[in-house]
Structure formats: structure tokens, C-alpha cells
């Protein structure tokens, strides 16, 4: 069983966001993500019914690197432009079969754009 790690993310409003994370096991070896899917949601607070932004492997905003254990998150500038500046909550889940692993959680900070 994996306990979610805390990782705070900073995203610039109006800019393309990209981040690559590598999931490693207790021995420091990459976890093979073949046959996994992933999903991530950002909300103003954990209990909010409104999703500020969503990333999934299905929508192409999350790309999994198979045996390399990499998880690449991408949010286009056209999407970050629509997120109001502020501090949000997020978590990132990996799914294989009926097993869901909440890998990361934390703050998702959107810094306001000055140049428009």
C-alpha cells in the first residue's frame, strides 16, 4: 500500500504547464506503469463540487511512461488562462484494474498573469 506523498505545485496562469514525475518503489526502482491509467483533479477546496481543471490519460493531459515510471502532466495555456489565480487542492491517482493508488496530493497554486 502506498500513502500519498505531499507535493505542492505552482502553475502560471496563461502559460503552458508541464511537469514530469517518476514513481519509484521502496528500492528506488521505477514502477512499471504499463496497463495503468491516471487522473488528477484540481478544486478550490477538497470538498468543492466544482472542478477547476481535470487531467486524465484519456484526455491526453497525462502521459504515462510505461517501464520508466514517468507521469507527465500537461495543461495547455488556453486552459490555465481560464483558472482564476489562487490556491487550490489537488490529488493524482493511478489506476490499474480495480486498484486505485492516490500517489500525490497538495496545493495547486495558480499565479496570476499580468501580460494579457
Asked whether residue 104 is domain-assigned, the answer is: yes
Q: Cell 491517482 maps to which residue?
A: 93
pLDDT at position 59:
98
Nearest to 65 by CA among 32, 103, 18: 32
Domain count, the chain: 1
Query: Domain range spanning residue 24?
Result: 5-111
Over residues 21-79, the pLDDT tens digits come to 999 999 999 999 999 999 999 999 999 999 999 999 999 999 999 999 999 999 999 99
Domain assignment present for residue 38? The answer is yes
What pTM did the predictor assign? 0.94
What is the model's pLDDT at position 1?
A: 63
Residues in the chain, total: 116
How far does CA 111 lie from the centroid of its chain? Answer: 17
Give domain status of residue 32, yes or no.
yes
pLDDT in tens, 6-30: 999 999 999 999 999 999 999 999 9
Domain of 51, CATH number, reads 2.60.40.10
Comparison of pLDDT for 19 and 1, the residue scoring more: 19
Q: Contact 103/64 with Cβ under 8 angstroms?
A: no
> Residues 77-90: pLDDT tens digits?
999 999 999 999 99
Mean pLDDT value across residues 85-107: 97
Please indicate, yes or no, if residue 116 is contained in any of the structural domains. Answer: no
Amino acid at each position: 500500500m502506498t500513502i500519498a506523498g505531499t507535493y505542492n505545485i505552482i502553475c502560471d496562469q496563461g502559460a503552458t504547464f508541464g511537469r514530469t514525475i517518476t514513481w519509484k518503489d521502496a528500492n528506488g526502482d521505477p514502477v512499471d506503469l504499463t496497463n495503468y491509467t491516471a487522473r488528477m483533479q484540481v478544486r478550490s477546496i477538497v470538498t468543492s463540487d466544482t472542478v477547476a481543471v481535470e487531467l486524465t490519460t484519456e484526455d491526453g493531459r497525462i502521459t504515462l511512461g510505461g517501464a520508466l515510471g514517468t507521469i507527465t502532466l500537461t495543461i495547455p495555456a488556453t486552459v490555465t488562462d481560464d483558472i482564476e489565480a489562487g490556491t487550490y487542492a489537488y490529488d493524482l491517482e493511478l489506476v490499474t484494474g480495480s486498484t486505485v493508488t492516490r500517489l500525490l496530493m497538495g496545493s495547486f497554486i495558480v499565479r496570476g498573469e499580468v501580460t494579457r
